[in-house]
Every structure is written in C-alpha cells, then in structure tokens.
Amino acid sequence: MSSNQNVVICSFYTADDYYRAHGERLAKNLDELGVKYVLREIQKQEGEDWADICRKKVGFLADVCAEHPDKKVFWMDVDCILLELPEYIFNSTADIIGFQRGYSSPLSIGYDRRARFWEPSFWGVNATPLARKMIAEAYELEKTSTIKATDDYFMEEAWRANCDNMTFQMIPSNAVVGMGSTNADSTGAFFKFGSSGNVDEFRGKVEQHSGTKGGLRKRALKFAKKLESKLPDQTSKRLRLLADTIGITGVLTTSKLNPESQERKVDLNLVIDSAQAGNSSKYEEAKAKFEEKYLPTQMELSTIAVAKSFHFYAAKESTKSIGLVWWAKPFPGNFGDWLSPLIVSQYTDKKIFFQSPVKIASKKHMIGLGSIGRFIKPNSVVVGTGISTDELTLAKSATYVSVRGPVTARVVKESGGPSVDSFGDPGVLISRIFPVDRKSTNGKVALVRHFTHKSIPLVLDPNMDELDIFVSHPDDIQALVHSLNEYERVVTSAMHIFITCQSYGIPCALITFEGFEDSVHGNGIKYGDYAEGVGLASISPIPIGLNLNKVDFDHITTDHKISETKLDEVEAAIKKGLSYLQ
C-alpha cells in the first residue's frame, strides 16, 4: 500500500479545556491530511499526577497496535501538529522510526564517546543518489588530501557532510555476536567481529537513562534553570540580568567534545577567530588548511562563510577599533542581525570587532540593532537596541543614546535606568547605505521567511519567488536588498525584512504562519515597539495558512515609508554613540 492509509496516528488527552482544545485541533489537522487516527479523552483519577498520566501511554499504544495489526502506528503528543506525512514515513521499511532525542543531527549520536559514527567493519551503500554522492565525495577527498589517514577517516568525512539530508536505519546491536541483549523475539545475531571486548552492563537502574555529555557544565545549567523557575519573578529577572551581564550565559551553554571532534573544532575555530581578529594572513592560512584537511559539513561551510563576513569588518585599514555587539548566529548569518555591523561601519573608519552578547565585555562597546537588550552591560553604549519581551530587567548604568521604541524605553526606566526619548531601529538606514532607484518592478511577489520558519512546507503562488534570509557579508546583503526592490510586493515573517521594505517604501505584508506563531522568540512586543519608534502605527504579524495560493495579500499589505526626519534622527544617534567610543 503506497498511501498514508496504512498509518494510524494515536494520542490521548486529559479532560480539561486546554488539552481538549488541542485534541480538537489535532483531529482537524489529521482529517485534512486524510490520516486515520485514534484520539481518546481520559479522566485523571484522584491522586494521579503528570507522571502517572504519561505512563498510561504504554498500555494505550499497545491497545491501538492490537486493534490495528496491519497498520503502522504512530504516537503523537496531542499539542503537536503534522504538516504532511512524507512517503518515506508511511512507506518506511524500518521497524522503529522517529526523531533523535532533541530533534538533533546524527552527528551527535554517541559522539561524546566515539570518534566515528559508523563501525567500518560492516555497512552498506544503496543505489540512491545521495548514497552515491557520499561515496563520490569521500573518494574525491581521498584523492586530493595529503594527510595520512585510513579509509574510515574519509568515509566519516563524507558521512558528516551529507548526513543531515540522508535517511538511515541502524542495525540493532544484538545482530552482532556477543553484543546487546536477546530474547525470544530477537531476529538473532548474524555478524561477528574479531574482538574480545564485551559490552558494559548497566551499573544501576534509574528512572531515566542519562548521558555524561557536558558533565558539570550541563548539570549546572540544568540546576540554574530549575532554581530560576522557583524564584519570585523580580528575583528571577535580576539573576538573569547578572548571568547575561557577566558572561555566565555563554559559559554554561558551551559543551565539550570528544578528542577528534575537538581537534576539528579547534581547526575551524582558528578560521573564525583569526577572521574576527582581522588577521588576514592567519585567516587565509587557517581556512586553506581546514578545507584541505576536511570535507566540510554544511554547518562548517556556513561557519567559513560567516568568517569571511567577520573578516571584512575586523580587517579594515585602520589602527583604531571599536567593539560591537550583535547576534551572529545562526551561521552563515541572519540578515537582520548582520545589518548592525553593516550600518555602524558606514559611520566609522575604525575596525569593528565582534563582541559576543553572552560573554564578558572588558571594554566599553556599542550595542545596536537587534532584540538583544537583555545583554546590555554596564559598559555598553546603547544605540537603537530593542527587546523581544518586556519581562526583563535591563542594565541601568549603561550609556543609553537611543532605543528601538517606547516599550524598550519603558523597561529601561522600570529597571532604574534613565529616561530615553530618542527612538529608531538602525535597520531603517539601509536605504541610505544602499540607495536604489525603484522605478519598475518584475510584477512578482518575493517571500522571505524568518529563519525559524525555513523548514515549514509551504505551497507558493506561481507568481511568487522565495529569497534567502541567510546572508551576512555586505555584498550579499546588498544583493538581497536590490532583489527586494525588483518585486511588486514582499511577503515576510522576518521583522528586519519588513523594516527594510519600509525604509525603501516597498509594499510589504508582515505575516506569520498558523500553528507557528510562537516560533519567533519573544512575546510579540518588538513589532509595535519598532513601529511606534519610527512614527508609524503599531503592527503585528498576520497569521496565514501554509497554502499561499489561498491568501489575499492585498488586504494585509502596507506601503509605508519611513520619513527622512526619522532617518536623520537615527543617523545622529549612531554618530553620537560612536563619539563615546573615541
């Protein structure tokens, strides 16, 4: 059977308004997909807690399986949704199929203990294009690399470079003689390797199996989050401010790797560190060495690309420099975040060094564009910075030149800081940085998604093109800006694309996607904060369905243009901010 009719989705929910509403939403979702399902409302008995309810899933799932012996049965949490059910899911030949813990990449499976993902003594390659591409790339690397290495080194390189796009099935450990555990239902061992090693037995039984990756740092972060959740709201805000201000956030969220992965990371870090330092010769040498030694993964290619952008600003021909805070990730860079160094760079000849928001700042520095107000430090010079939620306490003793809008100004004041009356997101200056004579258009619509929306499967209108938000280098940002100006209209879920459109006067619809309203960080105050800060009516993203053919964009499109007076004000704020960094 080659349709989703061989699949049953099952879930249950407790008899309360919140979960009952999610049950109704899931039923509607599955009806639209044409998927058979079993949804059951259960009663919470006296004395039962959340853990007692969760364990009922085991028996419930067993019952559904017994009732549908010829179907694939999937459990799904009732507060989730399905956008589609791909063929490789409903026609999977795997016994068990699902997400890895944390929805993460195969690169993290056992990598805290092993240097390779695959055991080289037995594995197969299919005739599929991706599998053959992996082998071809491994061979190409082996032919061109001068390092001394064995075959599994190059195979591992090719696997790492391609694994995010490949489906895979793991052979159970009990298929190896002497490994795993067996019972009457086991398929039996079929493979034996030449080793006398044995699998370690569990040293104790616990409620949940836990890994050791991250060690003390991971346990400290978990404890800190647990402690914060139990504190009064105002105390929690103060502790979070302290952690962000002195750099604890960055320390606790960094993890350790196994020796080989650590060496690879050190080599890659040398590329980005030398780029951030503006050391051109060291940067070029480290980049060439990494590309000769490894077959870069997509993530590593993104890191190399963003290193080029860091280098552009840090290697300016000047003997003076300033530190600037912006949010550099996700690599290769999010358009809105990377407007900050682009715009500030236009008003100074000094080198611009990246100051991480989550690390200690020993020198006075500027913090500008972005919803990164929570990372303002006492020695920050604040120009146009915003926040994504007003449930914060901001550093009161920073030098506040301007902020994004009146909401941020209110939080500064409530935190004990000064009154700030100069508003405006520095992103509005993009039309002065890259002037465009917008005369005629191509008559089409451009779609630009927020990076958290990139994986949503959308149905685009035939008259719509999608443009990529992941740009960081000035040349790429300029190219994107020019592309936006070629279109009749822009549809976006990214605030700084919307801001860019208002800077040029491009008709634009600010949207989000139904079911994904919470994907973008924050409580939504940043949109109104921005709009009021530049003298426009408050605005919020309009939720739309995933089939863009069915959306009437005429009714949600605005064509506002930011005044020259406001642009002058924002420009003056940047110049004033820079004067504090002489």
Digit-coded pLDDT (tens) for 557-568: 999 999 999 999
Range list of H helices, 50-107: 50-67, 87-90
- Residue in 7, 19, 31 with CA at minimum distance from that of residue 78: 19
Residue-wise pLDDT for 346-356, tens only, equals 999 999 999 99
What pLDDT, on a 0 to 100 scale, did the predictor assign at position 45? 86
Under DSSP, the state recorded for 110 is T
Contact (Cβ atoms closer than 8 angstroms) between residue 73 and residue 18:
no
The verdict on domain 429-566 having CATH code 1.10.10 is no
Residue 184 has pLDDT above 50, yes or no: yes
- Tell whether omega for the bond before 332 is within 30 degrees of 0, i.e. cis: yes
- Residue in 264, 262, 309, 259 with CA at minimum distance from that of residue 291: 264
What pLDDT, on a 0 to 100 scale, did the predictor assign at position 199? 29
* Six token digits for residue 333: 């860079």
pTM of the model: 0.76
Residue-wise pLDDT for 466-495, tens only, equals 999 999 999 999 999 999 999 999 999 999
| pLDDT tier, 197 (very low <50, low <70, confident <90, very high otherwise) | very low
* Six token digits for residue 40: 């059951």
Residue 570 has pLDDT above 70, yes or no: yes
- Residue in 220, 300, 212, 299 with CA at minimum distance from that of residue 253: 220
Contact (Cβ atoms closer than 8 angstroms) between residue 244 and residue 394:
no
Q: Hunting for tokens 């791909």 — which residue is that?
A: 86
- Residue in 227, 277, 273, 270 with CA at minimum distance from that of residue 252: 227
**Long-range contact pairs involving 295-300 (C-beta distance under 8 Å, separation at least 24):** 295/137, 295/138, 295/141, 295/154, 295/157, 295/158, 295/160, 295/161, 296/161, 297/107, 297/160, 297/161, 297/164, 298/161, 298/164, 299/331, 300/268
Residue-wise pLDDT for 1-52, tens only, equals 345 778 888 899 988 888 899 899 999 989 988 999 999 999 888 888 877 7
Mean pLDDT over the full length of the chain: 85
Cα(276)–Cα(314) distance, integer angstroms: 6
Residue-wise pLDDT for 207-236, tens only, equals 333 444 444 555 555 556 656 555 666 555
Angle at 106 between CA 110 and CA 214, to 5 degrees: 45
What pLDDT, on a 0 to 100 scale, did the predictor assign at position 225? 60
Report strand pairing: 380-385 vs 365-367: parallel
Residue-wise pLDDT for 121-180, tens only, equals 777 777 778 888 888 888 888 888 888 787 778 888 888 898 888 888 777 676 765 565
What pLDDT, on a 0 to 100 scale, did the predictor assign at position 577? 98
Residue 339 has pLDDT above 90, yes or no: yes
Tell whether the torsion through CA atoms of 229, 231, 236 and 239 is positive or negative: negative
Under DSSP, the state recorded for 447 is E
* pLDDT (average), residues 263-286: 96
Cα(511)–Cα(390) distance, integer angstroms: 22
Q: Answer yes or no: same fold for 4-98 and 429-566.
A: no
Q: Hunting for tokens 């499967």 — which residue is that?
A: 457
What pLDDT, on a 0 to 100 scale, did the predictor assign at position 212? 42
Residue 72 has pLDDT above 90, yes or no: no
Q: Please name the CATH architecture into which domain 4-98 falls.
A: Alpha-Beta Complex (3.90)
Burial tier of 456 (Cβ tally within 10 Å: 0-12, 13-18, 19+): middle
- Residue in 26, 8, 149, 117 with CA at minimum distance from that of residue 71: 8
Residue 432 has pLDDT above 50, yes or no: yes
Q: Which amino acid is at 50?
A: W
Residue 449 has pLDDT above 70, yes or no: yes
What pLDDT, on a 0 to 100 scale, did the predictor assign at position 211? 45
Name the residue ranges covered by the structural domains of the chain: 4-98, 119-170, 215-252, 429-566
Contact (Cβ atoms closer than 8 angstroms) between residue 182 and residue 176:
no
Residue 91 has pLDDT above 70, yes or no: yes
Contact (Cβ atoms closer than 8 angstroms) between residue 475 and residue 308:
no
What pLDDT, on a 0 to 100 scale, did the predictor assign at position 209? 32
What pLDDT, on a 0 to 100 scale, did the predictor assign at position 530? 98
Report the DSSP beta bridge partners of residue 367: 325, 382
What pLDDT, on a 0 to 100 scale, did the predictor assign at position 386? 97
The secondary structure element, H or E, covering residue 230 is helix 215-230
Report the percentage of the chain scoring pLDDT > 90. Answer: 53
Q: In what order do the strands lie in the sheet with 399-403?
A: 351-355, 321-325, 365-367, 380-385, 399-403
What pLDDT, on a 0 to 100 scale, did the predictor assign at position 246? 54
Backbone angles phi, psi at 551, to 5 degrees: -100, 130
Three-state SS letters, 160-222: HHHHHHCCCCCCCHHHECCCCCCCCCCCCCCECCCCCCCCCCCCCCCCCCCCCCCHHHHHHHH
Tell whether the torsion through CA atoms of 529, 530, 535 and 536 is positive or negative: negative
Which of 367-371, 372-376, 438-442 is least confident?
438-442
The secondary structure element, H or E, covering residue 376 is none
Which of 151-160, 413-422, 491-500, 571-580 is least confident?
151-160
Cα(448)–Cα(537) distance, integer angstroms: 23
